[in-house]
Structure 1
Amino acid sequence: MTTTIMVSDEDDVTENGQREPAGAATERTEYVQSLERGISVIKAFGEDTPRLTLAEVAKSTGLARGAARRFLLTLQKLGYIDTDGRYFFLKPSTLEIGYSYLSSLPWWKSAQRVTDELSRDLGISVAVGVLERDTVVYVAYGLPDKFAISGRTVGTRLPAYASAIGRVLLAYANASEQNEYFSSAHLQKLTPATQTDVAKFKAALEDVAQNGFALVDQELQLGLKTLAVPIRNRAGVVVAAMGIDLSSLPGSVETLMQSALPKLTRASARVTEGFAN
């Protein structure tokens, strides 16, 4: 027997029992709130919350238990979520959602291939990231040893202001995008070296745009030194940035810059070649 799972108007009721104003749906005639809520259920699961009960999902998303249950069962039927009877957890099918984004990038395969090759050449980790609001999201990541354990991977998110990749992306953003960033971003001290003064940070971005690279020394994490350069499409527009971790390499930062920066710049140009004509 096939069970049909419906999402009813009861889903307008949140965990605290409140219902949306009567005119809210009319004001958002093209906004599908059920889709938003379904995505919020998927996003409730993560590194620290790999398995959740129905009550925990409802609390995390702000949904009523009945609504949370319907979304969970719908996602289970679609193959994105499973349960052992008490706990719910994501299934590998959810990777299809993220991969759809990556495969839609005309340069992603080129970026991953070049990232892997540069990582093996330099013997260090290499990442390619894009800017999403005030964070950097890795879309490609390479390690010199494919069996090495790292705390980072594709999908890793870092604060843009404290990462070399983020500095590059912010430096090459247009004035409107930069204004939007600074209107909502909170520059917090992550280490004693983190630059949180907005005026000095903007000056640093101007230097990045002028020099063509960003070097961030222990602003994200003590002992971590990263270098990044822009990745441009064939029209010359910066769409991503490629960064390397210099921390494990011997020698001064100046010496490492001289040896690594040319290779990093050539690698980013190779990614540009991966764009469709």
Structure 2
Amino acid sequence: MTARVYSRDHVGSLEKGLQVMEILARHPDGLTLSDMALATGLTRSGSRRFLLTLVETGYATQSGRLFTLSPRLLTVARAWLQGATLWSHAEPVMRGVAAALNESCSAAVLSGEDVVYVARVAGRRILSVALNVGTRLPAWCTSMGRVLLSNLSKDELTRFLATATIEKRTAKSMTNRKQLIAEIAKVAQQDFAIVDGELEIGLCSIAVPIRDGSGRIIAAINVSTQSERFSAAEIRQQVLPQLRKAAKAIEDFASF
């Protein structure tokens, strides 16, 4: 494990409070004080202070022993999304991709160990993974995550994978860190990523980068489908060109 180095301006208590919120977000059925202490590594008294502060400020609710996030957090997310002109523009572009392929099209950014969905147009076919704006998924085993990770230097990627939680999601999940480094290097070279069955058996996705004016990858856009719908060759031939065209349209609009 590589120790994290913080600046003098780092506010540790704020980081811990945000960690508590993120953990609550991953447990919509609620967590007890003991659950939160175990998940965060905080003491029970420390966890209690953070949880009760969230309750008092309206970001969480308490029912008996269970703490859950409140809808107030959605207000913050909605305000951010309404101000994100790029994603407002991207949505109709993505809708065109989804309609042409009859599949889901999404965009995401990197946040910690995860990708966070910032825009999504659902296709007609329903997959068992429930995905919406704000959904977080592990970056290492998703197509958009690997595209975003391909923007890191080799040293940055090594540090990322050294601290990331990597565990088998399916029998096909690539969990060997050296193999992941090689796979992400391949993604950087070919400028797209395909992940088949590593997050969920039967779920296949392909992603391409969205770059700013300097060429830096700031987001990724993907199409997710059922493996039985497209072979690897078909997804390259039929989906990749449309994704690249959509990414170019989003990049052309953006004024970075």
Displacement of 1:186:
5.3
Residue 142 of structure 1, CA deviation = 1.5
Q: Deviations over 1:135-171 (max 9, x none)?
A: 2222222203599986111222222222111221122
Instruction: Summarize the alignment of residues 152-171 of structure 1 with structure 2, pairs less than 5 Å apart.
Output: 152-171=131-150
Report the more deviating stretch, 168-177 or 221-230. 168-177
The partner residue of 1:116 within 77, 91, 95 is: 95
Cross-structure match for 1:133? 112
C-alpha distance in structure 1 between counterparts of 2:67 and 2:164, whole Å? 34
Following TM superposition, by how much is the alpha carbon of 1:133 offset from its aligned partner in structure 2, in angstroms? Answer: 3.1
Query: Once the two structures are aligned, what percentage of the paired residues are identical?
Result: 33
Deviation at 1:128, TM superposition (A): 1.1
1:276 counterpart = 2:255: yes
8 Å CA contact 1:216, 1:226 repeated in 2: yes
Deviation at 1:218, TM superposition (A): 1.7
TM-score (norm 2): 0.77
> For the pair shown, which has the larger CA radius of gyration, 1 or 2?
1
CA distance in 2, matches of 1:191, 1:146: 22
Distance in 2, Cα, partners of 1:152 & 1:83: 26
Taking a change above 3 Å as real, the CA distance of residues 264 and 83 of structure 1, as seen in their structure-2 partners, is: same
2: CA distance between counterparts of 1:189 and 1:57?
24
Offset of residue 57 of structure 1: 5.7
Partners of 2:126 and 2:175 lie apart in 1 by 37
TM norm structure 1: 0.72
**Do the aligned partners of residues 44 and 273 (structure 1) sit closer, same or farther apart at CA in structure 2, a change above 3 Å counting?**
same
Letter in 2 for 1:201: L
Deviation at 1:29, TM superposition (A): 7.4
**SS across alignment from 1:201:** helix
Structure 2 unaligned blocks of 5 or more:
1-5
Structure 2 residue aligned with 1:228:
207
After superposition, what is the alpha-carbon deviation per residue over 1:102-155, rounded to whole angstroms, capped at 9, x for unaligned?
456552222334333322332111121222233222222220359998611122
CA-CA distance at 1:239 after TM superposition: 0.8
CA RMSD of aligned residues (A): 3.5
1:174 corresponds in structure 2 to: 153
Runs of 5+ unmatched residues, structure 1 = 1-26
* Residue aligned with 2:25, SS: coil
1:267 to 243, 246, 253: 246
Aligned pair count reads 250
Matched, 1:217 2:196: yes
Contact 2:103 2:224 survives alignment (8 Å): yes
Distance between the aligned counterparts of 1:138 and 1:121, measured in 2? 21
**Shift in Å, 1:32:** 4.1
Cα distance in structure 2, aligned partners of 1:44 and 1:161: 19
Q: Give per-residue Cα distances to partners, 1:219-267, cap 9 Å, x unaligned.
A: 2222221111111112221111111113166353312321111111111
C-alpha spacing 1:214/1:42, structure 2 compared with 1 (3 Å): closer
